[in-house]
Structure 1
């Protein structure tokens, strides 16, 4: 099983889609990818965002631009006291206006942006404010005016300095390499199960490889041993949980996939330089 290829909702009368997704409880948290480029504005809810091998917190106002075929998801696990999850999402294909449209001289900056988006981009500052307004306007607009708004949005985004790249170059190159379907399969399994007691043998079985061959394969692709990758993933996830209000360290320990508190404290401090409690106090101003 690979990350799920999602089909974007679009009518035959439009070349690209702007959809509002509303969930009564939480986002589906499906680790997925698609051929379309995506701009996602979180309107309500908070939790943990995963783009490629990058993990971070998200809240209302979060604005992310994601390149085609880059796996991603938004998770609400462990979040308390919210009523719904809502997002406004723009999807468009690279060839929606012809195969060479973005290769025209006038679109040079936009083409560079599309290449850059393969790592995922978090949009901040004044650019986030302006693009949020444009995206909300596009939701209510049709015809040529909707196209004009999209071009304006891409023009502003392509020249902005308020952009932060997310996923690592190593991850992006690894999933773009020939034979990357196997790595997608491995990574999808890890992202859906890292918060459990995941081990090398079971992931090797997913990849249809022996444990020793898998270890060599994984290290050559991700440039770090499998066990270290899993520990860093768990600690990164724990960091985001600790920044949420009213989360006990013991609760975060088990939710992020550690089996005992002493090992959690040891690994967390080794990677962050702080104990989990000290990290929580530092980042939540408690």
Structure 2
């Protein structure tokens, strides 16, 4: 089965994204993305798939997968009980890390790590134990400390000598092939046209489907209705603009594709539990506190 495209959405003012998610979750599916990913399992056990490799996982294990390598972790949970936190995830682009290597030749030892990630890496328990505290600290780190801890984490991984490569040496990701699937073309189109007035009928025409068939198709592949998925992408973009600029909230609303401010505020409140202006205020307050600390 062709893997699904995950839209990672690293914010413009950041070089990497670090977050947690529980189980079940929207990205718990056979998927790929152009970014590198570190995945630290904190709770549950089950079966994982990386490239052409499959195995079992348990809490405390740390994995790294390279760009466009399909992967998935499926937890075995009694009675399908939800789990608040299944893993901690860190994602970064190859462009940002290669730019760092070009600027600082001392980072050249990371190149071997990046090459190995193309096959997927399972780190040893001792390496995972060293890396785990840094991944937790990175969830809250700001500014220079964020970069410092990120590079410290990469140093631990790059100097580890007891790691296991997962996919076979002959495995090659096929991002162009993956991207050719209809759902991935639709997701890419959404990401590129968020600032436009989009409707489910528009995307149905783009996919060459009747509206009712497209609605079922989209929900089957994403587990959520089209408008819910679209609003989530737009609110994520709005958060990036609120954090990285002084653009007025009204302008942010229209730049993210919302047609009126009241709907934008309603959607933002539903997803972030606070209005856009308060979100910006709290973020900058946290930044100021981090600078003082």
Report the TM-score range of the alignment, normalised by the length of the smaller protein.
0.5 to 0.7
Residues in 2 aligned to 1:181 and 1:59: alpha-carbon distance in whole angstroms: 32
Relative to structure 1, the CA distance from residue 169 to residue 86 in structure 2 (aligned partners, 3 Å threshold; closer, same or farther) is same
User: Where does 1:1-286 land on structure 2 (aligned, <5 Å)?
Assistant: 2-23=2-23, 25=24, 29-76=28-75, 79-80=77-78, 83-84=82-83, 86-96=86-96, 100-103=99-102, 104-172=104-172, 175=173, 181=177
Residues in 1 aligned to 2:29 and 2:16: alpha-carbon distance in whole angstroms: 22
- 2:211 aligns with none
Superposed CA deviations along residues 197-242 of structure 1, whole A, max 9, x for unmatched, are xxxxxxxxxxxxxxxxxxxxxxxxxxxxxxxxxxxxxxxxxxxxxx
Secondary structure of residue in 1 paired with 2:22: strand
Aligned residues: 179
Secondary structure of residue in 1 paired with 2:161: coil
Deviation at 1:47, TM superposition (A): 0.9
Deviation at 1:51, TM superposition (A): 0.3
Deviation at 1:171, TM superposition (A): 1.4
Runs of 4+ residues deviating >3 angstroms: 9-13, 25-29, 182-185
Q: Once superposed, what is the RMSD of the aligned Cα atoms?
A: 2.7
TM-score by length of 1: 0.56
Residues in 2 aligned to 1:73 and 1:184: alpha-carbon distance in whole angstroms: 20
Gaps of 5+ in 2: 182-293
Deviation at 1:102, TM superposition (A): 2.4
Residues in 1 aligned to 2:176 and 2:14: alpha-carbon distance in whole angstroms: 32
Residues in 2 aligned to 1:182 and 1:129: alpha-carbon distance in whole angstroms: 34
Relative to structure 1, the CA distance from residue 45 to residue 28 in structure 2 (aligned partners, 3 Å threshold; closer, same or farther) is farther
Q: Is the 8 A contact 1:46 1:58 kept in 2?
A: yes
TM-score by length of 2: 0.55
Q: Is the 8 A contact 2:61 2:125 kept in 1?
A: no
Q: Is the 8 A contact 1:39 1:91 kept in 2?
A: yes
Superposed CA deviations along residues 14-44 of structure 1, whole A, max 9, x for unmatched, are 2211011123x46753111111110001111
